[in-house]
Structure 1
């Protein structure tokens, strides 16, 4: 069953199959399973990026993307707000001119960060961006380079 058939099954109210693909291992040798952590997001910037200093020097850029769901079952389920970061100075250069409402594409990996807070262990999920692109400026109808 291919991707189109799976989407059609979902639209008709049926459950998708347990097996999505019967291809051989996509990123490894036959019979081996290679773990993959690749994220692609396209959404609206919820505010201007923030810059935080790191203890060892350097900076981290932090922003949030609002990503809409195509087939939300309720208004509460219609969006996700996803925290994104980059530690890479060359990627940070592309982030500096972003404005609230810009449509942004982010490619990277999902990370789960842990630390000890005053009330015990804490953690959060975020996307660590390695490629960013401003696809559309706020209020414009065309793509704008980042």
Structure 2
């Protein structure tokens, strides 16, 4: 199933589309940027399939962000341990800091749905 993506560049045949289902490992935090825009950021862990050549439980940790006010208000109450289904696009953010040029790869979220409550 192909999800309609606002980040697709149709005239060039490019598509940046992500679908991830994982457990929240860092609760959403909202901060205001110098521009006045709000940004929500949180992390999820996504289990990798078992690989007999690499024993042990393996997990990918992903940073999720959104600048959309409606989405910020929806996700700010999600807690650690909940399983979320997220769609969006990969973004590389680059900035200059006190230790030089830094970058991070994030998922800019367009939709989020609760798959499962946190286990108690």
The TM-score, its normalising length taken from structure 1, stands at 0.69
Distance across 2 between alignment mates of 1:109 and 1:52: 21
Q: Does 1:110 find its partner at 2:90?
A: yes
Shift of 1:50: 1.1
Q: Which runs of 4+ in 1 moved over 2 A?
A: 71-76
Q: What is the match of residue 64 of structure 2?
A: 84
Structure having the higher Rg:
1
User: What residue ranges of structure 2 are gaps of 5+ in the alignment?
Assistant: 1-8
Shift of 1:74: 3.0
Q: Does 1:135 find its partner at 2:115?
A: yes
- Aligned with 1:54 (options 17, 33, 38): 33
Are the counterparts in 1 of residues 65 and 109 from structure 2 also a CA contact under 8 Å? yes
The TM-score, its normalising length taken from structure 2, stands at 0.83
Question: What is the aligned-residue RMSD (CA, Å)?
Answer: 1.9
Report SS of the residue matched to 2:77. coil
Distance across 2 between alignment mates of 1:95 and 1:46: 14
- Aligned with 2:46 (options 67, 84, 88): 67
Distance across 2 between alignment mates of 1:121 and 1:107: 28
Are the counterparts in 2 of residues 48 and 99 from structure 1 also a CA contact under 8 Å? yes
Distance across 2 between alignment mates of 1:97 and 1:119: 33
Q: Which runs of structure 2 are paired with 1:10-25 in the superposition (5 Å)? A: none
Q: Where is the strand percentage greater, Structure 1 or Structure 2?
A: 2
Are the counterparts in 1 of residues 84 and 112 from structure 2 also a CA contact under 8 Å? yes
Which structure has the higher relative contact order (CA within 8 Å, separation 6+)? 2
For these two proteins, the number of residue pairs brought into alignment is 110
